[in-house]
Structure 1
Amino acid sequence: MNLGSKFQSLVPSEGSKTISSGNDFGCRGKFISSGFILDRGNKVSQVRTQKGLQDGDNATGKEETITNFKGFFEIVYDIQRQKKECEGERGMNQTEVRDDLQQVAEAVSASCSIMLNKLDINSDRVNGLSFHPKKPWILFSLHSGVIQIWDYRLRTMIRRFVQHEGPVRGVHFHNSRPLFVSGGDDYKITVWNYNTDISLFTLLGHLDRLRTVQFHHENPWIVSASDDQTIRIWNWQSQTCISVLTGHSHYAMCASFHPKEYLVVSASSDHTVRVWDITSLGNKTSSPADDTIVNYVLEGHDRGVNCASFHPTLPLIVSASDDQQIKLWRMNETKAWEVVDTLRGHSNNISSVVFHPKQDMIVSSSEDKRICVWDATKRTKIHTYLCERFRTWVLAVHPEINLVAAGHDSGMAVFSFERERPAFSFSGDSLFYAKDGFLRYYEYSTQRDSQVIPIQRPDSRRLNQNARTLSYSPTENAVLICSDLDGGSYELYIIPKNKVGRGDIVQDAKKGTCGSAVFITHNRFAVLEKSTGGKEVLVKNLKNEVIEKSWLPVPTDGIFYAGTENLLCRSEDKLVMFDLQQRLVLGELQTPFVKYVVWSADMESVALLSKHSIVIASKKLVLHCTLHETVRVKSGAWDDNGVFIYTTLNHIKYCLPNGESGIIRSLDVPIYITKMSGSTISCLDRDGKIRAITINATQYLFKLSLLRKRYGHVMSMLNNSPLCGQATIAYLQQKGFPEAALHFAEDERIRFNLALESGNLSSAVTSATQINEKDHWYRLGVEALRQGNSEIVEFAYQQTKNFEKLSFLYLITGNLDKLSKLMKIAEVENNVMSQFHSALYLGDVEERVKILENAGHLPLAYITASVHGLKDIAERLATELGDNVPVLPEGKTPSLLMPPSPVMCGGDWPLIRAMNGISESAARGGAVDGVVIDGMEIIDIDAILEEAEGENVEHGEYVLVAKPSELDTPKVSANARSGMPVKRELRRRRSKF
C-alpha cells in the first residue's frame, strides 16, 4: 500500500486547508486529513482511532503531539505496521514511509496558499453577510443583534448599529443608495441609512423570525423570508407590504430576487424550492396583492432546503439542503428540472450555497466545518477547506471582484481563492504577461495586444495555479514562467521572433520543478532547487540542461534577478546579493519579507516591495530609505527622473530618493504598474486588462527639483505650473524656503508669518496693515529691529502706541526733534512716566522740574532745580515748601547728565546688499531698487500737536495713531532691505539637502 494515496485529500483537488502564515482562512493553522493534523513548522498531531491497536488506544480522540517530522513518520510507520499485521499483510518499512511522506509534504506545500485572507474578524456567530457593490465594505450581522460595517481593505470598522432584540439573521446593502436592510428574530425588518447611523423605519408583518432580507436591484422592493412560512415583498418607499407569497408548509429559509427578471426563488424546510413570478407587481405600489404565482415547485431534496440562489447570467438555480446534497436546476419559460449530477461531498447539513459571479464555480458551506468549491460545468469538487474549530453558516460573494465572505461560529472572514496579480515582464517596447491560461504579448508603441501561446493544461481545474512570476530574455525571445503547479514549477518557452504577436504558436514547454527561477544572462537562467531546502541553485541553458551548480550563502526561499550573473537571495529576514560566477556575497540588507524586486533602468537603484513596506537601496544593497504603508503595497516602477512610483490598494504614490512620499491620485480598484513613460502609467488591472493612466507629476517633480538643487527649474515651475494650496506652502516652509512659499499664499495671516520667516519686511507691512492687530504689529517691530530698519520699527511702535520703545528708538537713532515732540504728546496724553523719560533722554532739566512739580513731588523738583543751577525756580519752590526744604550736601559740584550722542544719527543699519531671490523677483516683476511698502505712513507728530492746541481737548482723548482713509506709500530709506533673498537662502541651506 502506498501511503501517498492515503493523503490524497491533502492535494488541492480534494484537500482541506486553513490559515497559513497569516494569509489564509480556515482552521487556524492546521490541515486535517485521514486522522492526522499537520501544524505549521512540520508539527504533527495524530488522532489514534484505528481498531486493533493496543488496549486503551480506542477511538477516544486521544491526541499525541510530535514536534518534528522524524517523529511523525516513525509513528506513521508504527501505525501502518500494526494495521497491516491485523489485516495479515506486510507492513511498510521506514524507507517507504519516508518517501511517501515527502510526497505528502509536497502536496501540503502546494495547497498552503490557496485561500487568501483579506479580513478575519473574531466576534460572536455571524448570521448575515453582504458586500457593498461599490465601496470596499462588508456588512455582517451577529447572533447578539449587533450589525457592523468593516472596510476589508483597511481592516477597520466603519459603523456599528444596535437596535434589534435578539439575533439578526439577514442583512443586505442597497445597490445605489446609502441604505441597508436587516431582519432579525424580533420579527422586524429595519431599513438603515449608514451615512447618518440611524434607522429610518421598521416594517412589521411577519409573525416569526426573519431568515433573509434583500433589496431589489431596480425597484423599491424588499423581499423577506420568515419562519412563519411566508415570503413577503415590501415597497420600502411607501413602507407597505405589497405581496405575501404563501405555499410553503414549513419555515421559509431563504428568498432572493432574480438579478434580471421578475422572479423570486425561495427555499424551505418543507424539502422544496419554489420559483415565483412577480411580474404583476410592476404595476402595484402600495396595496397587498395575491396575484403572484408559483412558476415551479422543485422537489428532489430528502430533507429541508436551507438555501437557493439564481445564477447571475444563466437560467440555473442551485440549492443546498440538510440531506448533505447540492442540486442544480435548469429552467426555461415553461418548466424547470433537476440537472442529472448532484454535488455530494459534505457530511452534515449544508447551510449556504452561491454561484461565483466571475468564475464558473459554486461555493458551499456546511455544518461539517467545510467550505467546498465546485466546478459548475463538470459538477465536480475542486477543493475543500476544513475549518477545525467552527461551523460556517453563511456565504456571500462580491458582484464585481473575486472576493468571498464566510460567516461562522467565531466571526467572519473575507478571502479570495486565487491571486489576482498578473505575472508580467517588460523590456523596451514589449510586454509579456499571463492571462486566462495564455501568454500574451503587448507592444506599447502600437498598442497591439495578442495571444502568443497556451501556458495552462486544458484539463487543469486547480485553484491558484496561475503563473506567479514571469522572466523575459529579449535577446533570445525566451519567457520563463513560474507557478505553484505541482508544488512549484517553471515552464520555458522560446518564441520565434517572426511569430511574436501572431497567436498561432504551438510548442511544448521545457519544464522543471523549482522554488523560483529567473534569467541571469540572455541564454541562461537560475533555478532554486527545492530538494536541498533552498541551499542550492542550478544554472541551466535554453535546452533546460544543468551547466552549473552553486551553493547559496544562506538558506533561500526565493531568488530575484540582480544583474548579469547576480542573484538576490531572499531568506527569512534579509536579502543577500550573490555573484554566481565568483561565488561571492556582494551585499546584504535586513528587510521585511520581500515579495517583488523592481530595478531602475540604469540598475543603480532597486526597490524591494514587501507587504506593507518599501525599501529603496543602491545596487550594492546600501540602504537609502524605507517607507511603511498601512495598506498593502501592490506594484511599482521607476520613472525617467529616478522617482519610484508605486501603488497600494487605493492610491498611486511616489517616493523621492530621500524617502519623502506622497499621493498622486486615488484608485477605485488596485492596478499593477508595468511601465512608466513620462506622465503616463501603463498598468494591468485585476482582470488582466491593459490600461494607461495619465498622472499629474508636477508636485513630485517640483520637490525633486528642490532636492537636487535645480533652482532654475524651481523658478520655472513657480511661474508656470499650477502649484498652489496649503500643502505646497507647508512643504516649502518646512524645507526652509518661506520666501518661495510666500509666492503661493493668499491668506494675509499666512503671508505675514511667511514674510517674517523669510525677512521680507515689505510683504509683512502690507499684511500687517490688512490684519491691523496689535500682536502682528509687535512681531513686525521685533523683526524690523533685528534687521535694523528704523523706519518700519518706528511705524510698528506707533501702531501699538508703545511710547517707551518709541522714545528709546528716537534716542539711539539721534532723532531728538521727534523725541521732543513725543514728549509733548505724552504731556497731552497725561502720560507722566513717558513724558519724564523723554525729558531725561533729552537732558531737559526745566521740563523735568516742571513734571515733578505738576506731579506734586515738590522736594524732588526743588532738588533737581537746585542741583542744576536753576536758582529762580529753586527759590520759588523753597518758598512753597517753607520749613520742609530739603538740605543738600555741601562741597558737591553739580553737573547735568546727558545721554551719549549716537554713533549713527538717522537711517537704517548698514547691511550687505544681497541680490533678490527667485520668488521675490517674480512677485515684484524683477524690481530691485528700494522697497515699496504699501499702506505704511509714519505719523506726523506736528499735526497731532497742532490739532491738540487748536481744539484744546481734554487729556486722554487723543489717539496717537489714527489710520488715514487713504494711506500713502512712502519708500523706506535706501539702506533698507526686505530680508534674505531666496537664492541666497538656497545657497545657505544646501547642506540640509
Structure 2
Amino acid sequence: MGMRLEIKRKLFARSDRVKCVDFHPTEPWLLASLYNGNVYIWNYETQALVKTFEVTDVPVRAAKFIARKNWLITGSDDMQIRVFNYNTHEKVTTFEAHPDYIRCIAVHPTQPFVLTGSDDMTVKLWDWEKGWKNIQIFEGHTHYVMNINFNPKDSNTFASACLDRTIKVWSLGSAVANFTLEGHEKGVNWVEYYHGGEKPYLVSAADDKLVKIWDYQNKTCVQTLEGHTQNAAFACFHPGLPIIISGSEDGTVKIWHSNTYRLENTLNYGLERAWTIAYQKGNNNVAFGYDEGAVCVKLGREEPAVSMDNSGKIIWAKHNEIQTANIKAGHDDNIKDGDRLPLPVKDLGSCEIYPQTLQHSPNGRFVVVCGDGEYIIYTALAWRNKGFGNGLEFVWALDSNEYAVRESTTKIKLYKNFKERPNSLKLNFTAEGIYGGTLLGVKSSSFLNLYDWETCSVVRRIDVIPKSVHWSDIGDLVTIACEDTFYVLRFNRQAYTQFIESGGEVSDEGVEQAFEFVTEISESIKTGTWVGDCFIYTNAVNRLNYLVGAQTFTISHFDTNMYLLGYIPKDNRIYLADKDVNVYSYALSLTVIEYQTAILRNDLETAEQLLPTVPAEQRNRIARFLESQDLKELALEVSTDIEHKFELAVQLNKLDVAVEIAREADTEAKWKTVGDSALSDWKFSLAEECLKKAKDLSGLLLLYTSSGNAKGIRELAESAATDGKNNVAFACYLQLGQVEDCIEILIKTDRIPEAAMFARTYLPSQVSKIVKLWKENLEKQNKKKAAEALADPADYENLFPDFKHALIAEELSKKTRNISIPATSYAEYKDSLDQDIIAEIKEKYPDGVLPSNLSPLHNRLVNSIAAKKNVNGDMDDEVSVDDDRDNMSLLSMEVNTTGTGSVRGDVDFDDAASFATSEHERPGENLVSEEKEMEELVQS
C-alpha cells in the first residue's frame, strides 16, 4: 500500500504569475516574486498579504530572504540585484549584477555570500560585507543558468542547472567546475541536493519531462522518474520526509517516495503551470508558485514517531532507523524543570516501512510501527518481528494480547494472541478512525461508537467527532478530545453488565447508563495521558496542563510544540519530547494529585493525612490550589511562599500574621498594604505604625486629620517638608493654621503668584513683600511689562477693596487660631460657616481702624468658648479620638480675610462685629492687658 501522507492546505493566494517562493526561517511568512515586477509577503497562518514591494516593471524571477540581516534580495529582467529591509521597506542597495536576465539566487547558509545565475551563462559570487563586491565568476555553461543550490552537507560546494542540458558541481574558490552530469535530453530547469548524510544524491528536473536522481560521487544517474506530461520545472528532496516533490508546466505537483521511487500522490490546484517550490527545514511546510498564484501546504504530521513505556524506555524512528534511550540513564535528582535530559542514544535496528507512528503495548513488551498502509509488531527489547499486516490504523486493547486493525473504511479486524478473531466487527457506517483502550472506539463522520472488545456489541454511541481518545489505567475514566473541546466521562461497567444480564435490548445508541458526564473543558488537546484520576495533557497553545475533577492547572508554558511521552511515578516527573526527540521533564508529585483529588471530593480528613507526604517544593502549588477552591485558611497553613502567605493573611484579615511577615520583609509596599487593611479595620494605632514604616505620608495625613491628631500633623508637616513632599507639608500647615509656613513653601517651590493669591486671602500683611518678590522674579525673566502690571495694595489701595478690613481680620485670627473646639460642639457653631466677616467688620468699623483703647480679644466667641467649654487651646497636646468617632477637633482658627467665612469650617465666629466691644459696653478703666487676659483664659 502507498504512503499515508496527510496534506493540509494552509495558504491559497491568487496573483499574477509567481516565479519564485521562499519561506522566512522564523516568521510565518511566504515570499513570492511575480512576473509583473512586484514582490509579496503572505502570512500563511492568517492568509493575509502583509507586505508588498513594487520592485520594478519587469519580471522578478528570483527572490530570497536573508533573515539574519532582515533583508530580502531580488533579481530581475532589468539585470539588477536589489536588497530591501523587509521591516522598514528601505532599499539597502541596488546594482547591475549581469548583462542579461537574472534567473536564480542562492544565499550561503553562514557566510556573507550570495550566488546569482543569469542568461549570460555565468554564475557570480557576491560578498555583502565587502560592499557587494563580485569576488568570483563561474564560467563553463553554454546556455541560460536556470537554478543554483548550495550543498547542505558542504556549503563550500554548489550545483547549477542549465539549459545546455547539463548539471555542474562547483567549489567556491575554483573557477572551473568540479564535474558535469549529463543525461537529460533537453534543458535542465532545477537541481537540488539530498539533505541526509547517507546518500550523496542530487535531483534534477528538465524540459524532457523527466526527474532524475544522481549519485554525484559515482557521477551516475540512479533513477529516472516519469509521469509529467509537460516540462518538469522543479524537483527537490524534502528535508524531513522520505519524499521527492516535483512540479511541471502540466499544472501538477507529484510526490514520490524517495526510497522506492513510487509515485505516492499528485496535487493539482488549478492554477495552471507550476514554476517554483520552497520548503522549510524543521517543519513540513511546502510552497508552490504557479501562473495564477501561490499555494502553501503542510505535509504529514510534525509529531515525531516516538513512544515511552512505563519504565522509561523510549523508542523512536529517525527515517527508517529505530533508536532507543532510557530515562534512567539521564535521570538526575537535581535536574530542573524544562531542562533537556542528556540521554545516551542507541541504535535498536531498522524498519522495513517508513514509520509514521510508534506505540508500545500496555505492558511495554511490544512496539507496533505503522506507516505506508502497513503495520509491523516488534519485540521492544530485541526488535524482532512478531507480526505484520496491512492496515491504515492499529490500536491496543487494555490487554496487551489484544489489538485491532482498520484495514479500510469498512473493515476492522480484531486479534488476540496475534491471531485474528473470527468475530470481527460488523459496521453499518464508514469507519474514519479507531481508538484503543478499555473499549474499542470507532469514529464515523458524525459520531463515536464504543464497543466491547469481547462481544463486539456497542456499549455507547457518543455524538461527537473525536481527534483522540485517552483511557485511564484502570479503565473507568475516558477523555474524548475534539477539535476545540475535550470531554471527560466515567465508564460504569457494572451498570452496563447489569443491563446486559437483565436481558436489556441494546440499540444502535448503546446503553445510556454505561457512561456519566464528568466535565467539559474548552481546550484543544495535542497529546495526553491519565495518571490515576488526573489527566495530563499538552494543548494547542503549547501549555502543559493537568486536570483533576473539573479543575485545570498549568505546569509550564513552551516556546515550541512539545509531545507528551508519559509519567513515571517513582520519579514524580512528566516526560515530553520535541519534534527532534529531545527529551524534557517537569516535576508533578503523585501525592499532590492525590491530595487535590481528596480536596475536590471534599474529603478533608484524607487530605490532612496526605499533606505530610507532599514534597516541600510542591507546597506552594497545593496552596494555590486551595486558594482557588476558596479554602484560604488552609492555604495559609500550607503555603511556604512568604508573598503568598502575606496575600492570604491580608485577604483573611489576619493582620497579626501580615504584620509579622511585613516586619521580616520590611518593605514599604507590605507596610502600606497592612496599613490600609488596619485603617479599614479601625485599628488606628497599627495603621499609624504601618503607614510610618511605609513612609505613606498621604495615608498619615488622612489618618491624622480624621482623628484630630494635632501633634501627629505637626510631626508629619516637618517630615514632609524635610523629604520634599511639599503638597503634604502644605496641607498639614494649612490644617494647623500655620499660614506663614504655607506661604514659605509656595515661595520656596517658586510658586510666587500662588503665594501672593494665598496671602491676599489668609495673610494680607505679607502681600506687599510677596508682590515685590513676584516683580523681581518677572524682571529676571525679562518680563518687565508683566512686572509693571502688578499692583501692590500698599501703593494702590483703591484697587484692593476692603484690604484694611482684611488686616483687622488677620490680626483677630492670629489671636484665636490655637483655640480648639470639641466635635460635640459642631451643631452649635456650624452656622458660622455662612457669615460674611468682612461685611460685619465694615459695618462696625467703616474706616478700617480699631479704637486704640480696645482689645481684639474681647469678643464673644473667645469669652463663650473659655466660659462654657473650658477648652485648652494649647496645640502641643494631641487630641485623642475614641473608637466611637464622636469627637472632632477644630485644629485651626485662620480666617478667610476676603469675607467668605472660614475656608474649612474650622473657625466658628458667631458675631464678627463683636470681636471688639464698644466703649459704652465696657469702660476703658476695666480693661486688662491682652497678655493677662489670655493667660487667665488659658488657666480657666
| TM > 0.5 fold call | yes
Q: 1:425 to 1:697 in 2, by over 3 A?
A: closer
Q: CA offset at residue 482 of structure 1?
A: 5.6
From 378, 382, 385, the equivalent of 2:267 is 385
- The answer as to whether partners of 1:639 and 1:676 remain within 8 angstroms in 2 is no
Of the three residues 377, 402, 406, the one matched with 2:288 is 406
Match of 1:422 in 2: 305
Q: Kindly state the Cα deviation for residue 225 of structure 1 after the two structures are TM-superposed.
A: 1.8
Query: Are 2:434 and 1:559 aligned?
Result: yes
Q: Is residue 84 of structure 2 the alignment partner of residue 189 of structure 1?
A: no
Please give the alpha-carbon distance, in whole angstroms, between the structure 1 residues aligned to 2:517 and 2:889: 69
1:628 partnered with 2:523:
yes
Q: 1:321 aligns with which of 206, 211, 215?
A: 206
Alignment of 1:270-669 (within 5 A): 270-280=164-174, 292-312=175-195, 315-331=200-216, 337=219, 339=221, 341-358=223-240, 361-374=243-256, 381-408=263-290, 409-416=292-299, 420-422=303-305, 424=307, 426-427=309-310, 445=328, 456=352, 466=355, 468=357, 470=359, 472=361, 474=363, 477=365, 485=373, 501-503=381-383, 505=384, 509=387, 511=389, 517-519=395-397, 521=399, 523-526=401-404, 530=408, 533=410, 539-542=414-417, 544-548=419-423, 556-563=431-438, 566-579=439-452, 589-591=462-464, 593-619=465-491, 620=515, 622-629=517-524, 633-639=525-531, 642-646=534-538, 648=540, 652-655=544-547, 657-662=549-554, 664-668=556-560
The CA distance in 2 between the partners of 1:733 and 1:649, in whole Å, is 23
- Counterparts of 1:790-801 in structure 2, within 5 Å, are 790-791=684-685, 799-800=700-701
Residue 111 (structure 2) aligned to one of 219, 226, 232: 219
| Count of residue pairs brought into register by the alignment | 712
- AA paired with 1:559? I
Alignment-derived partner of residue 63 in structure 1 = none
1:439 and 1:411 map into 2 onto residues whose CA distance is 37
CA distance in 2, matches of 1:438, 1:223: 36
One-letter code aligned to 2:837 = A
The answer to whether the 8 Å contact 1:441/1:501 transfers is no
* Inter-partner Cα distance in structure 2 for 1:858 and 1:676: 92
Judge which range, 515-524 or 225-234, deviates more: 515-524
Amino acid at match of 1:372: K
Partner of 2:494: none
Alpha-carbon spacing, 1:826–1:439, altered in 2? closer, same or farther (3 Å): closer
Change (3 A) 1:828 1:433: closer
Aligned-residue offset at 1:667: 4.7
Post-superposition Cα deviations, 1:253-312, rounded to whole Å, max 9, x if no partner, equal 2223344164443333344434444325xxxxxxxxxxx234445554443322223444
**Aligned in 2, Cα 1:367/1:772: closer, same or farther, shift over 3 Å?**
same
**Match of residue 797 from structure 2:** none
Maintained 8 Å contact 1:234/1:240: yes
Contact 1:679–1:694 at 8 Å: present in 2 too? Answer: no
Asked if 2 retains the 8 angstrom alpha-carbon contact of 1:788 and 1:909, the reply is no
Contact 1:638 1:644 (C-alpha < 8 Å) held by counterparts: yes
**Aligned counterparts of 2:519 and 2:276: Cα–Cα separation in 1:** 48
Unmatched 5+ residue regions in structure 2? Answer: 331-343, 492-514, 692-696, 712-731, 740-760, 763-808, 845-854, 861-867, 870-879, 895-900, 907-940
Deviation at 1:346, TM superposition (A): 1.2
Post-superposition CA distance 1:698-730 (Å, at most 9, x none): 999699969758699999999967979xxx999
Alignment partners' CA distance in 2, 1:549 and 1:625: 33
Q: Separation in 1 of the partners of 2:413 and 2:241?
A: 38
Counterparts of 1:272 and 1:402, CA distance in 2: 30
User: 2:737 matched to 1:842?
Assistant: no
User: Does the residue aligned with 1:339 lie in a helix, a strand or coil?
Assistant: strand
1:24-39 correspondence runs (5 A): none
What is the alpha-carbon distance in structure 1 between the residues aligned to residue 630 and residue 679 of structure 2? 26
Determine the C-alpha separation between the residues in 2 that align with 1:611 and 1:845: 72
Q: Is the 8 A contact 2:20 2:32 kept in 1?
A: yes
Deviation at 1:236, TM superposition (A): 0.9
- Superposition deviation, residue 455 in structure 1: 6.1
Aligned partners of 1:480 and 1:752: how far apart in 2?
52
Q: CA deviation at 1:131?
A: 3.9
- The DSSP-based 3-state class of the residue aligned with 2:247 is strand
Whole-angstrom CA distance in 2 between matches of 1:849 and 1:684: 81
CA RMSD of aligned residues (A): 6.1
Q: 1:222: Cα distance to partner?
A: 0.6
Distance in structure 2 (CA, Å) of the matches to 1:661 and 1:145 = 53
Instruction: Report the Cα distance in structure 1 between the residues aligned to 2:404 and 2:219, rounded to whole angstroms.
Output: 56
1:253 corresponds to: 146
Corresponding residue SS for 1:324: coil
2:118 aligned partner, one-letter code = S
**Distance of 1:584 and 1:377 partners within structure 2:** 42
Instruction: Give ranges in structure 1 of 5+ residues lacking alignment.
Output: 1-10, 13-110, 281-291, 458-464, 811-821, 863-872, 879-894, 897-904, 911-939, 949-954, 961-993
Separation in 2, partners of 1:670, 1:184: 42
For 2:309, what is the secondary structure of its paired residue?
strand
The answer to whether residue 61 in structure 2 is matched with residue 169 in structure 1 is yes
Matched residues in 2 for 1:375 and 1:957: separation? 93
Distance in 1 between residues matched to 2:642 and 2:54, nearest whole Å: 50
The match for 2:583 is: 692
| Offset at residue 221 of structure 1 (A) | 1.1
Check conservation: 1:309, 1:318, Cα contact below 8 A. Answer: yes
The verdict on how the C-alpha distance between 1:576 and 1:789 changes in structure 2, with shifts beyond 3 A counting, is farther
Change (3 A) 1:471 1:742: closer
Q: Is the 8 A contact 1:317 1:329 kept in 2?
A: yes
Matched position secondary structure for 1:594 = coil
Give the 3-state SS of the residue equivalent to 2:117 in structure 1.
strand
SS in 1 for 2:419: coil
Do the aligned partners of residues 675 and 191 (structure 1) sit closer, same or farther apart at CA in structure 2, a change above 3 Å counting?
farther
C-alpha contact (below 8 Å) 1:482/1:491 kept by paired residues: yes
| Residue aligning to 2:5 | 114
Q: Which residue of 1 aligns with 2:136?
A: 243
Q: Which amino acid aligns with 2:479?
A: A
| Cα gap change, 1:792 to 1:150, in 2 (>3 Å) | farther
Contact 2:106 2:116 in 1 (8 A): yes
The aligned runs of 1:784-933 (5 Å cut-off) are: 786-791=680-685, 799-800=700-701, 806=707, 841-843=823-825, 855=837, 907-908=882-883
CA distance in 2, matches of 1:723, 1:151: 42
* C-alpha spacing 1:808/1:842, structure 2 compared with 1 (3 Å): farther
User: Is residue 438–residue 456 contact of structure 1 (8 Å, CA) maintained in 2?
Assistant: no
Give how far 1:357 is off. 3.5
Distance in 1, matches of 2:82 and 2:733, equals 81
1:258-273 paired onto structure 2 within 5 Å: 258-259=151-152, 260=154, 262-273=156-167
The answer on whether the counterparts of 2:370 and 2:376 sit within 8 Å (CA) in structure 1 is: yes
What SS does the aligned partner of 1:501 have? coil
CA distance in 1, matches of 2:255, 2:826: 105
Question: Could you tell me whether the CA contact under 8 Å between 1:230 and 1:252 is conserved in 2?
Answer: yes
Deviation of the 1:345 alpha carbon = 1.9
Contact 2:232 2:248 in 1 (8 A): yes
Cα displacement (A) at 1:323 = 2.1
CA distance in 1, matches of 2:585, 2:573: 4
Q: Contact 1:553–1:585 (CA<8 Å) still a contact in 2? A: no
Question: Which amino acid is 2:681 matched to?
Answer: Q
1:702·1:714 contact (CA, 8 Å) conserved in 2? no
Q: Per-residue deviation at 1:664?
A: 1.1
Do the aligned partners of residues 705 and 470 (structure 1) sit closer, same or farther apart at CA in structure 2, a change above 3 Å counting?
closer
Partner residue, 1:881:
none
